[in-house]
């Protein structure tokens, strides 16, 4: 069992309220599937969550 800091997160789009699941170590940026607002920004392997985090999933 590896200890990982990677998680799936349920986030809420600040613009349209859509909730979707994102990976916090996504290799690329993630956008809201409804309105296209950035939810995760990729910074060279480390992701910055720019949406509201609702829940951290195991």
Report the nearest approach of Zn ion to the CB of residue 37 (Å): 5
SS3 16: coil
Q: Retrieve residue 24's tokens.
A: 């916090």
Is 52 one of the binding residues for Zn ion (CB under 5 A)?
Answer: no
| The binder of Zn ion chosen from 10, 12, 25, 37 (CB under 5 A) | 37
- Which residue's CB is nearer to Zn ion, number 6 or number 34? 34
Q: Which residues bind Zn ion (CB under 5 A)?
A: 13, 15-16, 18, 32, 34-35, 37
């Amino acid at each position: 069992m590896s200890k990982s800091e990677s998680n799936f997160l349920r986030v809420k789009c600040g613009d349209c309220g859509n909730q979707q699941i994102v990976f916090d170590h996504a290799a690329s940026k993630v956008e809201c599937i409804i309105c296209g607002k950035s939810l995760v920004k990729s910074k060279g392997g480390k992701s910055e969550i720019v949406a509201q985090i609702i829940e951290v999933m195991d």
